[in-house]
Structures are given as C-alpha cells and as structure tokens.
Amino acid sequence: MQERLQKIIAKAGIASRRSAEELITNHKVTVNGKVITELGVKVDPTQQRIEVNGKLVNKQEPKVYIILNKPRGYISTLKDPQKRPIVIDLIKDIKQRVFPVGRLDYHTEGLLLLTNDGDLTQKLLHPRNRVVKTYLVGINGTLTRSDVTKLESGIKLDDGLTAPAKVKFVRGKRDKSWWEITIHEGRKRQVRRMFQNLDRSIHELKRIRFGPLELGKLVPGEYRLLTEREIRGLKRWPGHQR
Ligand code: URA
C-alpha cells in the first residue's frame, strides 16, 4: 500500500512527521536510490527501498515478482544434486533472493513465477485456493472423445483420482495434436501422468497460464517483472476462488 513518505519515516520511529519533512527537503531521503526532495510523494514501503541518511528505513526487503518462461532442461528447485542448470541462474539483474512458486519438471517449459513474497507463495500453493494452471500439451496422436471425458471427469492415478480438468482442442490432426489442459491441483508430474494413463505420449508440455497470469510473448529463458496490475490480480486471486 502506498503512503506518504514522511508518514512512513515517522512510523518507522526515525523522526517526527515535521522532522521527517525536513529530512526530505534537506535531500536526506532516497527511494530506490533516488533523492526525493518533494513532500507528499507516495511510496509503497513493501516494494521500494527507502533510506534516510543512507540507512534503510523499511527493514523488509522490497518484494519482487518475476514471470519467467522456463526453458526445457532447467530444474526449478534451488539446488540440484545432479548439477543440472537451475532456473535461478537465469535471473541476472535482481538484487533480492527469489524462489520459484511451485515447480515445473526438467523437461517442461513455460510460465514460472518467482518471488521473495513468502505469504503470497503459500497462498498460491495452498490446495484450498485452487489456483488454476493451464498447460499446452503436444501429443503424438490425438485424444478420443472418451479420453477427453476421462480427463474431464477425473483420472485414477497412484495417488488418487484427479479433480476434473478442462480440456480444449487447440490444433493438429490424427498423428500429432495440441490441447489445452486446465487443472487446479499441483501433484508431481500430474499432466504427464494423466496422459500416460491414457497411453498418450507427450512431446511438448508448456505452462501458459497460472491463475490470472499469462505467459504471453516471453521466449524460453526470458523474464520480466510483473506489472502492478498483475500483482494485484495475483493477490486477489485466491479470494475470488473461494
Ligand atoms: N504437470 C507435469 O506433468 N509436469 C509439469 O511440469 C507440470 C505439470
């Protein structure tokens, strides 16, 4: 939430409101490294770094939200005993230590959210909040009507029946086809196991949506910061679903 800079400084116990104003007009206050001299500037202390006389006021690290198009051949954990490439290696110019929200398999590509916002991560991963994920699935062959019905009604896996998925034909013919599958569960290798159960082999698996976020035009390996609007949408998302 945005607040007036002098109020944030006063709330941090550094100065009275009046002295905080003087600190600002005397060029002693920076926001994200930029000196602010105007009074009344509004700032979000959870997102921006505020310093008075070079000292950090908001001890909390600014929150950062990144959308990455994870390439195939990367691991989405923070370490890999097999020393395979990890997604964090792709994030070059971000000071904060960020973590992936959930996982994508080594061979899966697509939308991966990374953040240092632990509260939001927990919310988004909690099964109760049913955050939907859509995958573009490329298969050898095609799905029959009966396959689609099975996916839509639930598939029996080793760890139980899957919740009904939404299935949409995208393109293709009898030898190769692409489908959009939307699920809200997050079991290990879930989509691959669902298709395995139908005896369909996957040649491409890409996550294209995560809650309200869309992968858009990011190419594999590319990332960007979320917009304010996207962050708001994400924070509201679980609320909408209940
Ligand atoms: N389902 C899978 O099988 N793999 C993923 O990476 C994501 C969902």
189-228: pLDDT as tens digits: 999 999 999 999 999 999 999 999 999 999 999 999 999 9
- The predicted model gives 69-87 an average pLDDT of 94
Whether ligand 1 lies within 6 angstroms of the CB of 134 is answered as: no
Q: Does residue 81 register a pLDDT over 50?
A: yes
- Looking up tokens 């000071």 gives 95
The pick from 106, 189, 197, 208 for probing ligand 1's pocket by mutation, whose C-beta has the most ligand atoms within 8 angstroms, reads: 189
Task: Return the pLDDT at 240.
Answer: 47
Domain 65-127+213-236 matches domain 132-210 at the CATH topology level: yes
Task: Return the pLDDT at 95.
Answer: 86
Q: 65-127+213-236 adopts what CATH topology?
A: Alpha-Beta Plaits (3.30.70)
Whether ligand 1 lies within 6 angstroms of the CB of 204 is answered as: no
Q: Both tokens of residue 128?
A: 């109760």
Whether ligand 1 lies within 6 angstroms of the CB of 72 is answered as: no
Cα–Cα dist 29/22, whole Å: 10
153-184: pLDDT as tens digits: 999 999 999 999 999 999 999 999 999 999 99
Task: Return the pLDDT at 241.
Answer: 46
Task: Return the pLDDT at 10.
Answer: 85
Alpha carbon of 12 to ligand 1 centroid (Å)? 44
Task: Return the pLDDT at 239.
Answer: 55
Residues constituting the chain: 242
Alpha carbon of 55 to ligand 1 centroid (Å)? 44
- The predicted model gives 104-128 an average pLDDT of 94
Higher confidence at residue 85 or residue 14?
85
Active site residue 119: no
Index of the ligand 1 atom closest to the CA of residue 194: 3
What are the residue ranges spanned by the domains of the chain? 3-56, 65-127+213-236, 132-210
Whether ligand 1 lies within 6 angstroms of the CB of 191 is answered as: yes
Report if pTM > 0.85.
no
- Looking up tokens 């939430």 gives 1
Alpha-carbon distances of 95 from 63, 99, 111, 191, 230, rounded to whole Å: 11, 13, 21, 34, 21
Index of the ligand 1 atom closest to the CA of residue 108: 6
Cα–Cα dist 168/131, whole Å: 18
Task: Return the pLDDT at 78.
Answer: 85
Which residue among the candidates 89, 105, 119, 158 is catalytic per the annotation? 105
CATH of the domain spanning 132-210: 3.30.70.1560
Q: 3-56 adopts what CATH topology?
A: 3.10.290
Task: Find the DSSP H helices in the chain.
Answer: 5-11, 17-25, 118-125, 145-153, 190-197, 228-241
173 burial type by CB count under 10 A (0-12 exposed, 13-18 middle, 19+ buried)? exposed
Alpha carbon of 137 to ligand 1 centroid (Å)? 10
